Amino acid sequence: MFVNPHIYPTDPQFVRLLDEPQRQRIVGLGFSKDGTLFFEIPYCAISGVGAGIIRDYARKRFYKFFCSTESVIAGLTDDQLRVVIDHEAHEIADAIAAATDSKPGSAFTTLESEAERHVPEFRELSKRYGEDIVSGSVAKVAQIAAAFPIVPRYISLFWLLVFVTSNYKQFESYAQQMPEAMLASSQRARQQEFLNLVWKEYGSRVPMEHFKELYIAAVSSNAKADA
């Protein structure tokens, strides 16, 4: 998959909250993760829709999030959107489980491994909604998202992290306290690995004013927890 680092964003101004009617539509169709932040961005982070958690180690808080490429949510039928929100709710649950796993491991995986991980879930989705609806929803998301520039997921996640931590007072009601397992050295190492990859991807263009603060927070959290 070809990506062009020169089109990567260099500040968080492109991030915006999903408009209220679309957010209410998602909730009304059965999205089950209360206290989730909904974002929309003018980039395709590989799949066009993603969800998980944002970790703020400076404040030892985390946030559940759901992020879509612009126009994706509005472009889906209700049946297609139900498939998407069911899948993304599952992704949030998986992200929380992974973030409280004490086993050493990488913060990242390959596209092949991700596809393999999703096979059992997509089988269940096909049983629940019908194979045609599931395959149609995947195809429609891809079609809409293809109109936007591609960035790796960790790049979009970095800017969501910057956006939330820069405006943390606005999002206090969404913040959840990190459990001890999320503060474990293995988990903080994953956060540092994530930030190291952002550094490597940007090279000399790394947004230092944002990056340095976030990296120090992860390292400082490490020192305090291990003291």
Give 22-38 pLDDT, tens digit per residue.
999 999 999 989 999 99
Task: Summarize the confidence of residues 116-127 as an average pLDDT.
Answer: 85
Task: Summarize the confidence of residues 44-70 as an average pLDDT.
Answer: 95
From 152, 145, 153, select the one nearest 48 (Cα to Cα). 145
Burial class of residue 177 (count of CB atoms within 10 Å of its CB; 0-12, 13-18, 19+): exposed
Q: What confidence score (pLDDT) does residue 224 get?
A: 47
Is pLDDT of 142 > 80?
yes
Q: What confidence score (pLDDT) does residue 219 get?
A: 84
Task: Summarize the confidence of residues 164-168 as an average pLDDT.
Answer: 96
pLDDT category of residue 2 using cuts at 50, 70 and 90: low
From residue 82, give the alpha-carbon distance in Å to each of 43, 68, 154. Answer: 22, 14, 25
Is pLDDT of 118 > 80?
no
pLDDT category of residue 226 using cuts at 50, 70 and 90: very low
Report the length, in residues, of the chain: 227
User: 44: Cβ–Cβ under 8 A, 6 or more apart, which residues?
Assistant: 69, 145, 146, 148, 149, 150, 151
Is pLDDT of 133 > 60?
yes
* 62-83 residue pLDDT tens: 999 999 999 999 999 999 999 9
Kindly give the interhelix angle for 111-129 and 78-99, rounded to the nearest 10 degrees. Answer: 130
pLDDT category of residue 225 using cuts at 50, 70 and 90: very low
Q: What confidence score (pLDDT) does residue 3 get?
A: 77
pLDDT category of residue 203 using cuts at 50, 70 and 90: confident
CA dihedral 83, 86, 91, 97 (to 10 degrees): -150
Q: What confidence score (pLDDT) does residue 46 get?
A: 80
Is pLDDT of 144 > 80?
yes
Q: What confidence score (pLDDT) does residue 223 get?
A: 45
Q: Position 114: which residue type?
A: E
3-state helix, strand, coil in the chain (%, to 5): 60, 15, 30
Q: What is the pTM assigned to this prediction?
A: 0.90
Is pLDDT of 15 > 90?
yes
What's the chain's average pLDDT? 90
Report which of residues 224 and 66 the model is more confident about: 66
Is pLDDT of 139 > 80?
yes
